[in-house]
Structure formats: structure tokens, C-alpha cells
């Protein structure tokens, strides 16, 4: 096995193709060219035609059973593979074909651990299917068809090679890009990035990125990665769920204690000191609690710093991407005060870090990190009951809609516990 600059073991690629010149130009440019020059990677191309057995160097033929197009014959392909192994040693072989699992970042990380990789580039209608029995795996780069596999092979080479030591100038960039795994199955798209000028055609760089608060910047990027992944590629999100033993609390008026207990939650009745509760729960469970607002009705405004969501799974993911979330992490559900109290500005949490500018925004105190906004329709609450909410707020005696809360808790908890 070859050794590159600095004693780092190099990664060898063998590309099998009918058009070696199609890959040569790309491999000479940019970081790939520099990595080859430095010896971090090596790329050798082999032409199938060199192993054809007839004088016309024929590598294709018509398919049995009829049909359009031509197929690459198995003889020249397998002979080319065997020649490369004899000349330069064993390798992990990959046949490129649309009829295969999709190549992704996880596959790139797996293949980057190997010393040598052979990539077979198809042409025409592809390979005789018996070639599958002569390779280690088959991969596709997506749900579309190309004229040949050379472009797809270059996709694999670059995606794999850039994960090897020495190929990228700043290896830290790998840890914070799209599809990067952060110690588990987490896969998030990158957050938006900005550079100078501050204002471009009326669009300004977010204020938080212009300041020097690194903690605020880190949270902004975490939240935006969560937001962008859910909006564009929700299938990438980790399949999180609350375990049955998850410590769960609910901060609500005392009248709801029985309802809360019936769902396996421990009630906390206000007013309480958020800092004191945090210390108590941290000592009890070994980790700090996470605070989640629980709202009913899509019209509830929240503070700009509190991301709102209509999906409990989104909020669970947000907790995971912005901090530690284990089976021992206590979660405190904070009931929407507009539902549980006659006054919109009444609070059951004291010790808020910063007072909000108006009563509506004081509804979610400082500890609340995210809000589950459940629509009334989702719980089949009659419109006439919602119309009475203004009367409830103005009532001289608090009227807690226990049946609403029972439905909300049932729906939210069942969703959070599903995989």
C-alpha cells in the first residue's frame, strides 16, 4: 500500500471505463489534483476494450430476449478486474447501476476506510447482470439515468477522497457540513451561511451572525439546520422517540393535577422558581431539564427567540440538535397560560431572565426552548367552545378546560413515544 505525504496511507482508486479520457481532466484540477500530486490518493484507469478477445475489440452485444440497446459483455469486464488485482493488489469493487442502493454520505464514510476501491462505469444499457456476482457491491448516485458511469464514478471518488486525511485544507469543515454525523445517527443539512457585504439587494445578514456572541451563533446555526432539514429533507432526520421511562413533568395550575398524573406526568403547580426547579431536577436525574411549551390553537404568538411548531416530533428533534437529550433528561411541559388561566399575562414561572415587551410574549417564559402548537382541529374541539375562550379569560374565577388538556396530552405524548 502506498504512503502519501506525512506518512499518511494513501487511498487508491481503480476506475474501469470505456472512456478513460472522460475522467482524466477532472482529476487534474482543484483539490483532487493537489491530493494526487501530494500522494494522498491515487487513481488508475483501465479500458474495458483492452481485454476484448476479438480483433474488433468488441465489448458489447445485444440482450437475450430482445429489447433496445446493447449490454457490456461480462468477459472483458471481469478480465479487466482480474488484471488490476494481479497488477496492483486486491480492492473493494463497486458496480455503478441505477438498480442499486443509493450512494450517500454514510456509504462515503464507510468506503473511505478502505485502502483500494474499484469502480465499474457502465455504458449503453449497462452490464450483463452476471457481473454483479463478480463485484463486492452495487451503488447508484440517484434516481435518474446517465449515458455512462464516468460522471457517477467521479462523484464517488470526490465524496470518498475528501474524507481522507490531507485531502482537504481544513478538515474541520467536514464536521459541520450537510449530512455530517455528530456522534450518532444525526444527519442535518447545513444552516445558511453569509459573507460580505452585510446588505445585498436589500437582504441583510442575520443580526446574530454580525455579533460576537458565540453561544447565540451556535444556537442560531443549530436551529436553522433543524429548520432547513425539516423543510427540505425531513427523511434525513434521526428517528427519535421518548422512552416510556423518560422523566416527564407538566407545569400547570393545581386544578389539573389529576389529569396530568393520569398521563404519567408529575405535576408542578405555579408560581415556581425556574432556577430552583432546574437545580432540583438536575440533582434528581443527573442532567438539566428541557422546557417545552404546550399550546392549543395555531394563533398563539410566541417570542421571536422561541421556535414554534405544529409537530411534536419537530420539537423533539429541536431539543436534540440544540443540546443533550438522553433517556434520563427530564422534560418539563409548560402549559399555555392563555388556555389555563383567565389572564393572558398571568405567569406561573418566576425568575424569567428578561421581561418580554408585551403580555403575549410573556406567555412563554425564558426557560421555554420550543413550543408544540397543537391545532384545535387536531383535537376535534368545537368552534363554539373556542369562541367562549374570551369569556373564560375575563371570568372572575379561573376555568381550566381540563378536557382540552386531556386530549392535548394524550395526542402529544403518543406522538412523542412513536419511533
CA separation, residue 12 to residues 86, 97, 161, 270, 327 (Å): 15, 21, 9, 65, 43
Residue 45: what are its φ and ψ, rounded to 5°?
A: -110, 145
The SS3 assignment for 162 reads: coil
Rounded to whole angstroms, the Cα distance separating 139 from 107 reads: 9
Q: Which residue has the higher pLDDT, 210 or 406?
A: 210
pLDDT at 376: 53
Mean pLDDT score of the chain: 83
Give percent above pLDDT 90 in the chain.
Answer: 57
The band of 383, judged by pLDDT with boundaries at 50, 70 and 90, is: very low
The SS3 assignment for 123 reads: strand
Give percent above pLDDT 70 in the chain.
Answer: 77
Rounded to whole angstroms, the Cα distance separating 249 from 245 reads: 12
Nearest to 318 by CA among 285, 345, 282, 293: 293
In the 3-class helix/strand/coil scheme, how is 50-86 assigned residue by residue?
HHCCCCCCCCEECCCCCCCCCEECHHHHHHHHHHHHH
Q: Per-residue pLDDT tens for 225-268?
A: 999 999 999 988 888 999 989 999 999 888 889 999 999 999 99
Rounded to whole angstroms, the Cα distance separating 157 from 24 reads: 12
Strands 71-72 and 60-61: antiparallel
Does position 395 have pLDDT exceeding 80, yes or no? Answer: no
Nearest to 77 by CA among 89, 59, 93: 59
pLDDT at 356: 37
- Residue 358 in grid coordinates: 408585551
Side-chain-side CA neighbours of residue 163 (13 Å) = 20
Side-chain-side CA neighbours of residue 215 (13 Å) = 1
**How many CB atoms lie under 10 A from the CB of residue 264?**
12
Rounded to whole angstroms, the Cα distance separating 146 from 22 reads: 14
> 217-222 long-range CB contacts below 8 Å, 24 or more apart?
219/322, 220/191, 221/191, 222/191, 222/321, 222/322
**Assigned fold of 185-236:** 1.10.1270
Residue written as grid cell 481532466:
25
Q: Report the range of poorest mean pLDDT among 104-118, 302-316, 399-413.
A: 302-316
Does position 314 have pLDDT exceeding 80, yes or no? Answer: yes
**Assigned fold of 5-161:** Alpha/beta knot (3.40.1280)
- Domains of the chain, residue spans: 5-161, 185-236, 248-416
Residues 307-325 have a mean pLDDT of 85
Nearest to 274 by CA among 290, 258, 287: 290
pLDDT at 239: 85
pLDDT at 207: 95
pLDDT at 183: 44
User: How are strands ordered across the β-sheet holding 368-374?
Assistant: 266-268, 248-251, 331-335, 290-296, 368-374, 308-309
The SS3 assignment for 17 reads: strand
Residue 355: what are its φ and ψ, rounded to 5°?
A: -65, 140
Burial class (CB in 10 A: 0-12, 13-18, 19+), 65: exposed
Amino acid at each position: 500500500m502506498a504512503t502519501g505525504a506525512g506518512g499518511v496511507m494513501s487511498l487508491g482508486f481503480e476506475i474501469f471505463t470505456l472512456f478513460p479520457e472522460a475522467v482524466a481532466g477532472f482529476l487534474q484540477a482543484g483539490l483532487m489534483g493537489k491530493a494526487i500530486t501530494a500522494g494522498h490518493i491515487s487513481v488508475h484507469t483501465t479500458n474495458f476494450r483492452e481485454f476484448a478477445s476479438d480483433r474488433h475489440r468488441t465489448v458489447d452485444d445485444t440482450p437475450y430476449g430482445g429489447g433496445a440497446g446493447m449490454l457490456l459483455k461480462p468477459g472483458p469486464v471481469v478480465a479487466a478486474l482480474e488484471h488490476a488485482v494481479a497488477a496492483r493488489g486486491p480492492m473493494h469493487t463497486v458496480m455503478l447501476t441505477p438498480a442499486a442502493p443509493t450512494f450517500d454520505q454514510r456509504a462515503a464514510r464507510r468506503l473511505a476506510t478502505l485502502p483500494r476501491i474499484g469502480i465499474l462505469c457502465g455504458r449503453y444499457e449497462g452490464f450483463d447482470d452476471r457481473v454483479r456476482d463478480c463485484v463486492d457491491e452495487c451503488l447508484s448516485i440517484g434516481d435518474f439515468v446517465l449515458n455512462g458511469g464516468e460522471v457517477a464514478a467521479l462523484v464517488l471518488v470526490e465524496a470518498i477522497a475528501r474524507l481522507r486525511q490531507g485531502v482537504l485544507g481544513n478538515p474541520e469543515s467536514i464536521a459541520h457540513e450537510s449530512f455530517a454525523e455528530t456522534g450518532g445517527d444525526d444527519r442535518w443539512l447545513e444552516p445558511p451561511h453569509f459573507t460580505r457585504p452585510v446588505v445585498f439587494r436589500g437582504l441583510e445578514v442575520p443580526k446574530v451572525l454580525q455579533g460576537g456572541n458565540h453561544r447565540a451563533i451556535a444556537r442560531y446555526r443549530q436551529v436553522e439546520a433543524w429548520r432547513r432539514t425539516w423543510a427540505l429533507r425531513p427523511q434525513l432526520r434521526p428517528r427519535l422517540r421518548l422512552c416510556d421511562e423518560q422523566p416527564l413533568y407538566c407545569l400547570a395550575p393545581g386544578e389539573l393535577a389529576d389529569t396530568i398524573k393520569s398521563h404519567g406526568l408529575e405535576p408542578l403547580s405555579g408560581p415556581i422558581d425556574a432556577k430552583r426547579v432546574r437545580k432540583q431536577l438536575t440533582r434528581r436525574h443527573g442532567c438539566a431539564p428541557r422546557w417545552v411549551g404546550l399550546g392549543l390553537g395555531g394563533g398563539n404568538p410566541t417570542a421571536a427567540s422561541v421556535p414554534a411548531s405544529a409537530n411534536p416530533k419537530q420539537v423533539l428533534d429541536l431539543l436534540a440538535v440544540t443540546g443533550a437529550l438522553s433517556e434520563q433528561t427530564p422534560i418539563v411541559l409548560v402549559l399555555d397560560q392563555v388556555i389555563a388561566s383567565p389572564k393572558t399575562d398571568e405567569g406561573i414561572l418566576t425568575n424569567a431572565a428578561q421581561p418580554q415587551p408585551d403580555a403575549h410574549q410573556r406567555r412563554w417564559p425564558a426557560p421555554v426552548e420550543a413550543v408544540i402548537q397543537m391545532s384545535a382541529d387536531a383535537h376535534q374541539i368545537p368552534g363554539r367552545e373556542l369562541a367562549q375562550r374570551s369569556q373564560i379569560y375575563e371570568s372572575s374565577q379561573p376555568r381550566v378546560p381540563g378536557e382540552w388538556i386531556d386530549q392535548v396530552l394524550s395526542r402529544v405524548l403518543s406522538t412523542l413515544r412513536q419511533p
